[in-house]
Amino acid sequence: MIVKTQITFKDFLLFHLKNSLVRIIVFPIIALIFFGVNYYNADNDNREFLESLTIWLLILFVFIIIRTYFTVKKVFYSNKQIQESIVYTFTNENIQIKGETFDGEFTWNTVYKVKEKKDWFLIYQNAQVMNMVPKQYFAKDQILELRSIIKNKGVKAKLRND
C-alpha cells in the first residue's frame, strides 16, 4: 500500500496544540477552580489577592499558548524533511519512507509502538522519535489495511475502532 503525504505548518501546529492542550489546560483549570472556591469563602482582603492571582494565571496561560506557537513554528521550519512530500509504502514486511531528499526503510519488528489518533498515525521508531503520518491522505480501505498489518505483526499499538 502506498500513501503520499505532505504535512503543512497548520497540520503540525494543530497536532501539537491538540496533543499538548491537556497539559497546558489542566493546571490552570484546577487552579481556577481552587481560587473560585476560595473566593466565595474569603473576606474582602483575600478576594482582591485571589482576583489578582487569577489574572496572573490567565496571563501565564496565554503566554504558554503563544510560546507553544513560536516553538512549534521554529521546529517545523528548521526541519526541511518534515515539510517535504513523503511517500510511505507499507507492506507486511516493512515500511519504506521516501522524501524529496531522503529515503529509508525499517521492518515492523523494529517499530517501538504505533498510536492512532483521530487524524494521524504515529509510528514510533523509539520512545522519542516518531513518523507522523496524516490520515487525510489515506483511503478508508487503506486505514483498515494498515490496522490489519499492525495487528498481524504484533506491534505494540493503540488503534481506533472507527
- 107: confidence class by pLDDT, cuts 50, 70, 90: very high
The model carries a pTM of 0.77
pLDDT at position 61, please?
78
**For 108-139, what is each residue's pLDDT tens digit?**
999 999 999 999 999 999 998 999 999 999 99
Task: Output the CA–CA distances (angstroms, integers) from residue 63 to 35, 53, 68, 71, 86, in the order listed.
Answer: 20, 15, 8, 12, 34
Instruction: Give the pLDDT of residue 138.
Output: 95
Residues 52-62 have pLDDT tens digits of 777 777 788 78
| Average pLDDT over every residue of 148-157 | 92
Q: What is the mean pLDDT of the chain?
A: 86
Strand ranges for the chain from DSSP E: 2-6, 85-90, 94-98, 103-107, 113-116, 120-124, 130-134, 157-158
Whole-number pLDDT of residue 37: 67
pLDDT band for 91, please (50, 70, 90 cuts): very high
Give pLDDT, residue 143: 95
What lies within 8 Å, CB to CB, of 115 at 6+ separation is: 121, 122, 124, 157, 158
